[in-house]
């Protein structure tokens, strides 16, 4: 049986969606060390837990 592929105009939204998702994941991976550093600073200065430091960062943004 032949394998059916979507027409190019039908596949395009998936490609666009996957490219956007890929860019978002790259951004998240690149920003992770800075987030971890910020959490460490909050833990050291405020004496809060890892969970609390995450909450502080979420509230700040």
pLDDT at res. 12: 81
pLDDT, tens only, 2-59: 677 766 666 688 889 999 999 999 999 999 999 999 999 999 999 999 999 999 999 9
pLDDT at res. 44: 97
**Under 8 Å between Cβ of 42 and 48:** yes
Q: CA 39 to CA 58: how far, in whole Å?
A: 11
């Amino acid at each position: 049986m032949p394998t059916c592929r979507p027409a190019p105009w039908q596949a395009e939204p998936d490609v666009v969606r996957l490219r956007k998702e890929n860019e978002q994941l790259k951004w998240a991976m690149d920003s992770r060390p800075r987030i971890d550093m910020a959490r460490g600073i909050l833990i050291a200065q405020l004496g809060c837990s890892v969970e609390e430091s995450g909450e502080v960062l979420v509230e700040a943004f």
